[in-house]
Amino acid sequence: MNSNVSNRARKSDLCKRAQSAGWSQRQTEAGYSRPGGVMAIMLMILLIGMLGCGDQEVRFGAKLFPESQILAEMLWHLSTSAGGEGPRPKSVGDTRVVWKALLEGEIDAYVDYTGTIREETLRSENLTTDAEVRTALASRGILMSDSLGFNNTYAIGMLESEAARLGISKISDLTQHPDLKFGFSTAFVDRQDCWPALQSSYGLPQTDVSSMEHAIAYSALADGAIDVLDLYSTDAELASETYRRLEDDRGVFPEYNAVLLYRQDFAEAHPEIIKELLTLVGRISEEEMQRLNTRVKVDNKVAVRVAGDFLISEFPELRPQIQQQFRQRDTSLAQRIGEATLDHLSLVGVSLLAAVLVGVPSGVISARYQRLGQIVLAAVGIVQTIPALALLVMLMVPLSYLEVTSIGAIPAILALFLYSLLPIVRNTVTGLQSIPPAVRESATALGLTSFDQLRFVELPLASRTIMAGIKTAAVINVGFATLGALIGAGGYGEPIMQGITSQNYGLIMEGALAAAGLAVVVQLLFEGLELFVVPKGLRITTAK
């Protein structure tokens, strides 16, 4: 069963790239001159995507923070040096998403932490020792390496100046300062072994505890919005003198040893690559990892280069291969934006096409049968109120039951599709209902069939309003699609997410400006398209 899932899952991911390629080629050939043409092209792209492609590539995944990305790049360098073929690792999302990707065979290996597996991924099984974790993973066809050498556990930190002023060096010292404001990452507040354990073991009296994105907490600390944050022991910030890590004097925090997780079927098929990957075991110390994180977060080096440099210093014999890989794989800004644009366009384009194909007929039916119409409008309206992130996660559940891949482009397109429905359905209904009764009656009295009335009179008359709805949906989609990066769908969200986690504002701007630019282009495109779709007679303003 596993290998089936794996093949199918791979197809869909490859297809995404096939779509992108097909799209760009078509776009230049045919342009957007005729809506029918665009639709046909998008359908073709979908079909090409579904037929597809199967091969034996090696794939690695990463979570959306620099350390995970650096480690994944190391895996890629090592695998490529050992003759493995495959794309650069992809940051697919948070722990849950990367784990799913591994289970479903979208990726073959990634680096996780023993504490995360115990406390989050397999929490319901109440595992305590590494041996138990190993057994539980094996029953799912997943193998676990020994520690790569460092323990990236949670820690508690403050600004050095503030800690010195208050004389705080240990976590137990915090009990003397009940007014301190705590700002913790969401996972830290939720996990039983983190904040709840800390609070009860140390008897911490603080009540002002807020949860926020980890990367943002550092800024909040600098601004004085919070006094205390949770951090990871390998955080780049700890390498500087600005922060003080408080000693866990009661030993509450569990071990989060970095380990390689990989699929058993992959290990059997490619023993030579796995052997190469496992050379990392025991090679990276906590200080080393801190230093590597600093190079990405503070020095703004790209993860692939930081990873390669480390491997060259650690395994000098790999130098020629890795330098070769630098030359081949270093991507320029234009190339990066180009790829992100294609990914982004295919997310927006495919979802929008599907929404038009479903939304306009739904609008027509809703305008005709008003009772049913109210139900349809209420339903698409409710979807609109679900926060984008929640919708993405909610979609993962049914998709994984259907054994369709639950990460990547497909769920993102599905979510965007659902979001596009409201403006399209609503505008179709409004457009049809605002046709003057005299015109409608004339069409009936002529003896036109109801389909002909719709085709030759009602839809053309409503076309301007319908087009406005589609345009709204398209522009909103360009923005929403950036969230696709959270589940590995690529697009402009990827540089934005990476920029947020590595505090690299250049990367954030790269994604944000591109998305804003694309929104403007889409807007103009639809205004041009209106000239073809909206009948000339409706654009005449000089009456009488």
Partner 1 sequence: MLAIHGISKCYGQTVALHPATISFIAGKTTALIGPSGCGKSTLLRLLVGLIPPDQGIIQFDGEELREDNLQAIRRRLGYVIQEGGLFPHLTARDNISLMASRLDWSDSQIDERLSELCSLTKFPRDGLNRFPAELSGGQRQRVSLMRALMLRPKVLLLDEPLGALDPLIRADLQRDLREIFRAAEATVILVTHDMGEAAYLADSIVLMRAGKIVQQGLFQDLWRQPADEYVTEFINAQRSPLETMTVEGEAQ
* 441 touches partner 1 (CB under 8 A): yes
The count of residues interacting with partner 1 (CB under 8 A) is 24
Q: Is the dihedral of CA 520, 521, 526, 528 positive or negative?
A: positive
Strand partners, 170: 247
Round to whole Å and give the CA distance between 544 and 351.
Answer: 43
**To the nearest whole angstrom, how small is the minimum distance from the Cβ of residue 39 to partner 1?**
22
Letter for the amino acid at 98? V
CA distances from 117 to 59, 89, 95, 99, 191 (A): 21, 21, 9, 9, 12
The beta-strand segments (E) located in 237-390 are 243-246, 258-263
- Contact pick of 197, 216, 448, 509 for partner 1 (by CB under 8 A): 448
* 540 touches partner 1 (CB under 8 A): yes
- Contact pick of 446, 513, 520, 524 for partner 1 (by CB under 8 A): 446
**To the nearest whole angstrom, how small is the minimum distance from the Cβ of residue 465 to partner 1?**
13
Of 160, 205, 215, give the one whose Cα is nearest residue 185.
215
Would you give the DSSP letter of residue 404? Answer: S
Of 57-65, 96-104, 433-441, 467-475, the segment contacting partner 1 by CB under 8 A is 433-441
- Contact pick of 442, 506, 527, 528 for partner 1 (by CB under 8 A): 442
Round to whole Å and give the CA distance between 9 and 7.
Answer: 5
Closer of 452 and 527 to partner 1 (Cβ):
452
Round to whole Å and give the CA distance between 109 and 222.
Answer: 37
**To the nearest whole angstrom, how small is the minimum distance from the Cβ of residue 364 to partner 1?**
17
**To the nearest whole angstrom, how small is the minimum distance from the Cβ of residue 544 to partner 1?**
7
Round to whole Å and give the CA distance between 320 and 378.
Answer: 62
Closer of 396 and 534 to partner 1 (Cβ):
534
Of 36-44, 274-282, 367-375, 452-460, the segment contacting partner 1 by CB under 8 A is 452-460
User: Over the range 427-460, which residues count as b (16 or more CB within 10 Å of their CB) and which as e?
Assistant: bbbbbbeebeeeeeeebeeeeeeeeebbeebbbb
**To the nearest whole angstrom, how small is the minimum distance from the Cβ of residue 534 to partner 1?**
8
* 544 touches partner 1 (CB under 8 A): yes
The helix-helix angle for 286-297 and 303-314 (nearest 10°) equals 140
Closer of 314 and 530 to partner 1 (Cβ):
530
**To the nearest whole angstrom, how small is the minimum distance from the Cβ of residue 103 to partner 1?**
55
* 449 touches partner 1 (CB under 8 A): yes
Closer of 33 and 442 to partner 1 (Cβ):
442
* 438 touches partner 1 (CB under 8 A): yes
* 328 touches partner 1 (CB under 8 A): no
**To the nearest whole angstrom, how small is the minimum distance from the Cβ of residue 428 to partner 1?**
17
Closer of 369 and 456 to partner 1 (Cβ):
456
Q: How far apart are the first and last CA of the chain?
A: 72
**To the nearest whole angstrom, how small is the minimum distance from the Cβ of residue 12 to partner 1?**
42
- Contact pick of 3, 444, 506, 527 for partner 1 (by CB under 8 A): 444
Q: Strands across the sheet with 182-184, in order?
A: 209-211, 182-184, 228-232, 154-159, 243-246
* 538 touches partner 1 (CB under 8 A): yes
Of 48-56, 158-166, 319-327, 446-454, the segment contacting partner 1 by CB under 8 A is 446-454
Closer of 327 and 536 to partner 1 (Cβ):
536
* 524 touches partner 1 (CB under 8 A): no
The answer to whether residues 528 and 32 touch, using CB atoms and an 8 Å cutoff, is yes
Round to whole Å and give the CA distance between 44 and 341.
Answer: 19
Query: How many other C-beta atoms are found inside a 10 Å radius of the C-beta of residue 130?
Result: 17
Round to whole Å and give the CA distance between 200 and 185.
Answer: 18
The answer to whether residues 191 and 254 touch, using CB atoms and an 8 Å cutoff, is no
* 457 touches partner 1 (CB under 8 A): yes
- Contact pick of 178, 224, 381, 535 for partner 1 (by CB under 8 A): 535
- Contact pick of 460, 479, 517, 519 for partner 1 (by CB under 8 A): 460
**To the nearest whole angstrom, how small is the minimum distance from the Cβ of residue 73 to partner 1?**
58
Per CB under 8 A, residues contacting partner 1 are 438-439, 441-449, 452, 456-457, 460-461, 535-538, 540, 542-544
